[in-house]
Amino acid sequence: MQSAVGSWREGTTALVGRRGAIRLVAVAVPALAAATALVWMLEDRFGVLDASPVYLLAVVVTALVSGTLGALTTAVVGIVLYDYLFAQPVHTLAISDPGEWLSLILLLFVGLVVGQLTALERKRTLTAEAREREARELFLTSRALATRASTTTVLPEIAELLRRSTEVDSLRIALGPNDGSERTAAESGDAAGAGRSALHWQLRRTPGDEPAQWVRIHSPSASRRQEPRQGIDLFRVRIEAGGRPLGSIWASRSRRGGLPDRSATRLLSAAADQIGQALAQDRLAAEAGAAEVARQSDALKSALLQSVSHDLRTPLATIRAAAGTLRPDSDLDSPGRMASAEAIEREVARLDRLVANLLDLGRIEAGELRAEIDVFMLDDLAARTIDRFGSRFAGHSVVTDIPALPVSVDPVFLDEALANLLDNALKFAGPNAAIRIAAAQVGDRVRLTVDDDGQGVPDELLDRVFEKFYRAPAAGAMARPGTGVGLAVVRGLVEAMGGQVEARKSALGGLSVALDLPLAHLPAELATAPTR
C-alpha cells in the first residue's frame, strides 16, 4: 500500500481566474473611460499636444487591483484607444509618430513593473492573512488541548475546527496504534462520499524544514489505470509521538477541490503533532497516576498493618484464653464457662466489625462502593441498628429521638455507618456514658446525629477525625483504643449515598457526628406518614 507514485506541489494559481476577470473589467473599464475623458479634455480644451501618459494612471490603478496581466491589458487597450481617438490620423489604428511608439512601450513597461509590485504586495498580504488565520486556528487547537480534561474529550471540537479551516467536506480523527485497530474518536461533517471511489493521499513529513508533501497511496485493490474525475480525495495525516503511531487525521473532499493548500496542509500537520503530544502526555499522566495510586496503596497497607495488628491480636488473645477454659479438663464452674463463651462471642463480634470496616475501607479506596438506593423511613432503619446494640447499651443512658422521615439511602451502608458511630460513642465516652441519637429534617436533607459526653476532640482536630488511620490524641493519659478506620468508613459510606458527614463539639460535652442524608420525596398518597 505504501508505493508513492505521484507528488504534488502547490500550483501557481491562474493569473486571472473568473473572479479576477470580473474584477479586471470592473476596474479597467471605468479607469480607461476616465483616462480617455481626461485626455480628450487636455488635448481638445487645453491644447496639450500629447496627453497619452494619462493612460498611465489607468494602468497603475488596474495594476493595483488586478495585477500584471490586467495592467498589460489596460496598457494595450489604452494605447489602442489613444491611437484610434486622438493620434493622427484620427479613427485609424495606424501609428505614424515614433513618439507614440515610445508612449506605448512606456505604458507597457510601467504596467509590467507596477503590476509585478502590486502582485508581490498582494501576495505578501494574503500570506500574512493566511499565517494569521493559521496561527489563530493553531492557537484554538492548542488551547482546546491545553485546557482539556483528557485529549479524547476535545477531539470533536478540534475535528470541527480543522474541517472548517481546511475547507474539507468531512474530517475524522481516529486513534489506534495501527491501521487495523484505529477507531474513530471524533468526526465532523458528513461522510457522504464514503461510498464513492476515493484516491488516497498521505502527508509525508520530514524532520527538517522541508515542506510536507502529499503522497498518493495506492491500495492493492484499486486499479492503477483509471483516475476517475468523480469521487473523493481522502487525505491522511498520521498522529505520532516519539515515533510511535497513535492514530490519524482523515480528511475527505470531492475530487474537484484539489489538494489542500499549503496553509491547510501546515495546519493539519501541526494539529496532528499537537494531538500526538497531548496523547503522549495523557499516557504519562495516567502512568504517573497509577504509580501514585500504587504508592498510596503501599502506604495504606503499612499503615493498616501497624494500626490493625493490635486490634486483631487483642480479641484473638481473649478468644484463645476463653476457649482454653471451656476444655473438659478445666475446673471452671458453670457461670465461669458461660462468661467465657460470652467473651468469645463478644470478641468475635468485635473482630467481625473490624473486618467489615477493613473490607469497606478497601472498597472505598478502590472506588468500588456502589450504593443501592431505596426509600426508607429513617426511624425503622435506625431502630434496627440500635436494637442490635441492645446489651452493649446496658449501663449507659441512651436517648433516641428519630422521627419517621423518608430518606434515600442504601440500607446496608446506613446500618454500617450508624453502627460505627455507636461503637465510637461507646468506646470513647467510656462507662456510664450518655449517648444521644437524634434526627431532624434540615432543608432537603435529613440530619442524623450521634452525640456523646466523652472527652471529645479538640476543635482544631475535628476536621481530621474522618481521615483514615487518624486517631485523635488522648486528652488524658488514657490511650485511645481504635484503628482510626471507623469514621473514615462512615464518611466513605455516607458519601457513596450522596450524603455528607460533619464532626462538632457536642452539647453533651463530647463529640457529635452528623450524617446529612438525602431526604426522599414521597408521592402525595404516601406523604401522610403517621408520626409517633
Binding-site ranges for other proteins (CB under 8 A): 345, 348, 352, 355-356, 359, 363, 372, 374-377, 379-381, 384, 387, 404, 406, 410-412, 414-415, 522-523, 526, 529-530, 532
Residue 232: phi, psi to the nearest 5? -125, 160
Residue 200: phi, psi to the nearest 5? -100, 130
Smallest distance from other proteins to CB 425, Å: 21
Residue 373: phi, psi to the nearest 5? -85, 135
Residue 15, number of CB atoms within 10 A of its CB: 13
Q: Which C-beta is closer to other proteins: that of 4 or that of 348?
A: 348
Q: Which C-beta is closer to other proteins: that of 376 or that of 466?
A: 376
Q: Which C-beta is closer to other proteins: that of 207 or that of 523?
A: 523
Q: HEC string of 440-496? A: EEECCEEEEEEEECCCCCCHHHHHHHHCCCCCCCCCCCCCCCCCCCHHHHHHHHHHH
Smallest distance from other proteins to CB 433, Å: 25
User: Could you tell me the sign of the dihedral formed by the alpha carbons of 95, 101, 103, 104, in that order?
Assistant: positive
Q: Which C-beta is closer to other proteins: that of 102 or that of 316?
A: 316
* Helix (H) or strand (E) run with residue 235 in it: strand 232-241
d(CA 466, CA 273): 46
Show the DSSP H helices in 8-146 as ranges: 18-40, 54-85, 98-146
Q: Which C-beta is closer to other proteins: that of 380 or that of 444?
A: 380
Q: Which C-beta is closer to other proteins: that of 233 or that of 379?
A: 379
Show the DSSP H helices in 41-53 as ranges: none
Q: What is the DSSP string of 245-293?
A: EEEEEEEEEEGGG-S--HHHHHHHHHHHHHHHHHHHHHHHHHHHHHHHH
d(CA 351, CA 43): 119
Nearest to 52 by CA among 61, 40, 64, 44: 40
Smallest distance from other proteins to CB 313, Å: 18
d(CA 481, CA 230): 82
Smallest distance from other proteins to CB 391, Å: 13
Smallest distance from other proteins to CB 308, Å: 17
Smallest distance from other proteins to CB 464, Å: 28
d(CA 309, CA 290): 28
Q: Which C-beta is closer to other proteins: that of 110 or that of 405?
A: 405
Q: Which conformational region is residue 258 in: left (phi greater than 0), alpha (psi within -120 to 50 degrees), or beta?
A: left
Smallest distance from other proteins to CB 4, Å: 58
Nearest to 271 by CA among 190, 387, 173, 131: 173
Q: Which C-beta is closer to other proteins: that of 80 or that of 412?
A: 412
Q: Which C-beta is closer to other proteins: that of 95 or that of 356?
A: 356
Smallest distance from other proteins to CB 448, Å: 15
Nearest to 186 by CA among 138, 145, 245, 217: 145
For the chain, the helix, strand and coil percentages under 3-state DSSP, each to the nearest 5: 55, 20, 30
Smallest distance from other proteins to CB 325, Å: 19
Smallest distance from other proteins to CB 379, Å: 8
Q: Which C-beta is closer to other proteins: that of 411 or that of 482?
A: 411
Show the DSSP H helices in 389-458 as ranges: 411-429
Q: Which C-beta is closer to other proteins: that of 137 or that of 410?
A: 410
Yes or no: say if 110 and 143 are a contact pair by the CB < 8 Å rule.
Answer: no
Smallest distance from other proteins to CB 499, Å: 16
